[in-house]
Amino acid sequence: MNGQPPPACDRDRGCITCSDEGVLLRVMNVKEDGLALCADAEGRPAEVEVDLIDRVAEGDVILVHAGVALVRVGGTEKGLS
């Protein structure tokens, strides 16, 4: 490329590519195409890929990174009542 090393992630600011952030979302509606409509604690909507989690259901709280659900957290989490 240009002979320069690739930029590194900063421990304080997070990943320069994806902010290195996982977000808790509540599943509002599971669609048949591997996607789910979700909402964060403030009610902001997001469409999330849920294929990595078995049997996602309405009301589940999931940890999402880069638009992909990684794990079901379960139960009502703080801020997601």
| Six-digit token string for 55 | 């049997």
Domain ranges of the chain: 23-72
For residues 40 and 22, give the distance between their C-alpha atoms in angstroms, rounded to a whole number. Answer: 12
For residues 52 and 16, give the distance between their C-alpha atoms in angstroms, rounded to a whole number. Answer: 25
Q: Map tokens 């789910």 to a residue.
A: 36
Residue 23 has a pLDDT of: 87
* Helix H or strand E encompassing 79: none
Say whether pTM exceeds 0.95.
Answer: no
Along the 81 residues of the chain, how does pLDDT read in single tens digits?
466 665 555 555 555 555 567 889 999 999 989 999 999 999 999 999 999 998 899 999 999 988 999 999 986 444 465
- Class for domain 23-72, per CATH? mainly beta
